[in-house]
A and B are shown apart, each in its own frame.
Chain A
């Protein structure tokens, strides 16, 4: 039996200023009818380039150098754009990564869906309209007639992704290429979207090529997994065999670093030395941070209920431990982090840092407070000044607070670079010359420069590849042990939270629905929402 899709020795190169650079090296794998194959790799592995090559939609400058793309036995690799137009949409559907930017913002979604039919020769407007409404209903959108009239910005991310899925399956193609279809979505939405793809696949026997960085998603949804690294296939096989007994070192790494898959012990706070002596314990305040009854509302304009971003939120961070706030987008976790770091003033409630009330600080006192709380942001590409050298970036907090002279600050920067395990020679380089993981190390070093009591990590590892993520988490743990740091760890990713935190608060719609020691919350969740979140984590078998 011929495979539905068969890639054979595929080579892809990009034209660059210094000549062609090959990014995909003799990639061969196949997808059988009705099968889900996951193409797994980190950023830069060539997985997206490979999937674009199947559709003949390589970005400008991309070129298919060698190899065949056989669709049911016919090689379409050399086909002209015009000939491929008959294949795209009709025989191969495509689901993109980011639902927010993947729909035309100025046309109603119904019109965009109707286009798919018109492109492939359907003419009768009434027939098309019926098909569109039926499709919207099938992908689980309520009130299809209303949805069809709405513009993309009027729909949520999950709804837009449903529209895009409808778009991909409109003409009942034999194969759907899903390029990171859920990476931009919340976990609970991700789960429903993946379920939907599964369901549509079962109904029509559509094969799916699932391109993903998330081994958890692959493990849960795919029958076979193809692992790519640096443009080459490292290993491929059935999902169970590959995950249970990976033969290649890189696959083993990937499996070990995938936060959702690995079995790791829970972290338990080790009581600090002073707490072991009851007398001292009574005298000392054991909490680095105490937040009580925080609330913050934003006005939505006249005549409308104000939006309660944070609603009566209380939590405590024990000295030398990590407290995680976990929640989906819009849960209020970032606003909470901004209140704690005093960028937002709460309407009510109080924040105590090391026993002193810092809620109402202003002016010089607030500036002094910045020495004690430092932040690490999500995006290491945007949070570092591209014009400064790494040494300047790390020394900047010291300069701002006039700590030491120029030479002492340079020495301090060098020491911090060493502390976050970066090679000494990065000091003179600029952020653009560094990888994402290295940049995040620089951001951490900068946060440590003033020896703060509390570091607020706002989605600090979310933008990183899993292997890089694992190294940064190890670094954070080591620094905590060495320096006795306290972390407030804001994240949407339960698997990461499970790995790094001692205690956890689960937030939803501005409120904390459940909190407690990480092990207790993960093993015996009390609230329905916590259970739903936990169930939605891909590859969740290993998490509890």
Chain B
């Protein structure tokens, strides 16, 4: 229908802008991947030889032509070759993607669980001091740097408590700490938004009506407040997917895991433009898809939006 078509058009526009911006930024950097790889004195290559190599990579043609060439390649699904490894980009990304998807997926799920648990407990907990303490927790979480958190978690759980082996862990065990590292900083803003929106909904007149019917606090929270309070949190969740990509870079580096994050880090260090270009597009695509999903879920949760979405 028209709504989906329009949204898809918007998504394509976002992707095109992301692609162009990355291309321009990477071109603006001094030096390039070919120079980094071949200019080192040990290889003993003469400037003429380097120029030949550049020509073979197509790096000597004008920027605009390079851009058009890359666009044409991307549109046909050809992401080019990694300058650093010489392997096709789609192979590199394809082999790194599953690990990262698992990490990010579990990380996000855990973040949502932590956020919901914190927000609900901080509303329902029996003592005022306990509620206060739970309310303060997200503030702490949000200010924790990811790399530091990873190191602390390894220290405490692996070296001190010996709960999770560092070496020779099976894949499931190896996921526990990275997932936590990724989840905790993301859960914080979610928990804060959710708690605040629960507070807000608790004050609305319809909650007074439900309480005047004799409903207890837990029933009010689950049946009447929760769904209304979720709405703003879902919007934020869509935006937080971006955090997830940044978090994956740090987490994979700290824990020495293979994945998109690690690939990104190396590609940046080597200015491996084709790889970076592909990763940015991938990230933008995920972002666009998730936010489209959020917009489609919204009318399901809030019937007031149903007619609008259809009409639009």
A contact set with B: CB distance below 8 Å: 55, 57, 81-82, 84-90, 92-94, 96-98, 101-107, 115-116, 119-120, 151, 153, 164, 167, 301
Contacts and interface: CB of A to CB of B under 8 A. Distances in A.
Contacts of A164: 209
B45 interface: no
Contacts of A82: 216
A106 B214 contact: no
B213 A115 contact: yes
Contacts of B205: 96-98, 101-102
Given A105-B302, A105-B304, A57 B208 contact: yes
A42 to B, nearest CB: 21
A102 B206 contact: yes
Given A102-B206, A104-B228, A115-B223, A94 B304 contact: no
Nearest to B202: A60
A97 B208 CA distance: 11
B281 interface: no
B224 interface: yes
Contacts of B211: 57, 88
Interface string B63-97: 00000000000000000000000000000000000
B214 A85 contact: yes
Contact of A90 (B214, B228, B304): B214
B212 interface: yes
Contacts of B140: none
B219 interface: yes
Given A86-B214, A89-B214, A167-B209, 10 more contacts: A57-B212, A85-B214, A88-B214, A94-B213, A96-B209, A103-B209, A106-B302, A115-B215, A119-B213, A153-B304
A301 B215 contact: no
5 contacts: A88-B211, A98-B205, A102-B206, A104-B224, A153-B303
A115 B206 CA distance: 13
| Size class of the B contact interface (CB-based, 8 Å) | 20 to 34
Contact of A85 (B208, B215, B223, B304): B215
A85 B303 contact: no
Contacts of A167: 209, 213
B206 A85 contact: no
Contacts of B223: 115
A184 to B, nearest CB: 11
A101 B206 contact: yes
Nearest to A302: B311
A89 B212 contact: yes
Contacts of A98: 205
Nearest to A105: B304
A386 to B, nearest CB: 21
A151 B214 contact: no
Contacts of A151: 303-304
A97 B206 CA distance: 10
A98 B210 CA distance: 14
B204 interface: yes
Contacts of B206: 101-105
A55 B210 contact: no
